[in-house]
Structure 1
Amino acid sequence: MTGERGLTRHVVVMGVSGAGKTTVARGIGALTGLRFAEADDFHPEANVARMRAGIPLDDADRWPWLRALASWMAARHAEGVSTVLACSALKRSYRDVLRQGPPQVEFVHLDGPAELIRDRMARRTGHFMAAGLLDSQRAILEHLDREESGVVLEVTPAPDELVAAAIARLGLPPATRP
C-alpha cells in the first residue's frame, strides 16, 4: 500500500518472542501491500550474541535499535510507503520511541498463554532467541494502554485467522494489483 505522503499506514506487530509476530506481519504485508521488515534484522551483532547466549537485553541495548526502527519507518513514510514491522515493542517507552518515526504507528499485540508460546519456541529452528528469555520478556511486557492506537489478538487461532483479524480490526485495505 503506497500513496501520497500523509496517507501511509505504519503497523507494528508486537509481543514476546514466539507469539507469531513475523508470521502475522508477513501475512499482513502480503495481503495489504505494506512493506514488511523484521526488527530482529536491525539488531547489532552484539545484541544478537547476547540473546543467543540467553542474556536478556537491557534498555541501553535497545534504545539505538528502537531509534533505527523508527528512522526506517519515517524514511518509508517520506517515500509514501506504508510499513508493517515485526517487533517485540514490549514496553510503553519502547513504543514511544517507535512513534517518534512516522506521524502515526498502530500496534497489533499478539498475546497468549506462556505455555503455548514456550511450546512454539521449543519447536522452531534457526532463531537466535533463546527460549529461556521468554520469562524475562513476559516480566517486562506492558500491555497497550487505552490511548495507544492498536488491537490485542489472542494467539491461539491459526496464523491466517490472526492476519485476517488484524487487517479487519485496523481497517487496512487490500493490496491493489496492477
Structure 2
Amino acid sequence: MKTSPLALLVMGVSGSGKSHIGRRLADTINANFIDADDHHSQTSIAKMARGEPLNDSDRQGWLLTLADLYREYREQGQDVVIGCSALKHRYRDLLRQGAPELKILYLHGSREVLLERLGARGNHFFTGEHMLASQLADLEIPEEDEATRMDIRQSPDDIVASFLSKEGIHP
C-alpha cells in the first residue's frame, strides 16, 4: 500500500526528451504530467525566443510555481511527474520545498545528439546551439545519490522501465 503520492522530476537540458519521457512515465504509472515550459512567464519565453538565456532571477518565480504544484498534488494525494530542466542543484532544492521525497530522472545526452534533436523540433521557443551551450554551461549534473541517470540514446520504453525498476516503483 502506497503511503504518499509520488513526486517525480524528469530533468535535463533542452532536447533531452523531458516532455516525451515525462508523459510516458506519467502514463505508465497513471500520474499527472506537467510540462514546466507551460509555466514560464511571457517575459521569459520572449527572452528565450530572442536567443537570450535565462538567469537565476528569471527562473526563481518559475521554480517556486513548480514547487507549489508539487505541494498541491501531494496535498490532494495525487502522483505527479514534472518535466523541467532543473539545471542547478539549488533549483532542484527549490523544487524539493514542494516535494521533499522528490525522485529524479536525469536524461543525459551528447551535445551532438541534443543539437540534432533541437534541429528537428520545429516550432518551439528554445532553439539553437547558443542556447544549448548556455544550458550545458549552467548544468550541475546530479550525483548518483540525487538522481537516476539515463542515456537518451536508449528507447523511451527502456528509459521508463529502467527508472521505475531502479526507484522501486511498480505501475
Which residue of the other structure, out of 20, 38, 59, is the alignment partner of 1:41?
Answer: 38
Question: Contact between 2:119 and 2:127, CA under 8 Å: does it hold in 1?
Answer: no
> What runs of 5+ residues in structure 1 fail to find an aligned partner?
none
The answer to whether the aligner puts 1:134 opposite 2:142 as a matched pair is no
Q: Give the aligned length.
A: 170
Q: Which residue of 1 aligns with 2:59?
A: 62
1:83 equivalent in structure 2: 80
Unaligned 5+ segments in structure 2 are: none
**1:110–1:68: structure 2 CA closer, same or farther, 3 Å change rule?**
same
Q: Among all aligned residue pairs of Structure 1 and Structure 2, give the percentage whose two residues are the same amino acid.
A: 36
Deviation at 1:147?
4.0
After TM superposition, list the pairs within 5 Å mapping 1:1-178 onto structure 2: 7-132=4-129, 133-148=131-146, 150-174=147-171
Tell me which amino acid in the other structure corresponds to 1:112.
G
Does the CA contact (< 8 Å) of 1:53 and 1:130 recur in 2? no
Q: Shift of the alpha carbon at 1:103? A: 3.0
Amino acid in structure 2 at the alignment position of 1:57: L
- Residue 8 of structure 2 aligns with an amino acid whose one-letter code is V
Partner SS for 1:11:
strand
* CA RMSD in angstroms, aligned pairs only: 1.4
Summarize deviations over 1:120-173 as a string: whole Å, max 9, x none: 10011121112231000000100112442x200011112222122222222222
The two structures have a TM-score, normalised by structure 2, of 0.95
The AA in structure 2 aligned to 1:44 is S
Query: Structure 1 runs of 4+ off > 4 angstroms?
Result: none
Residue 13 of structure 1 deviates from its aligned partner by 0.3
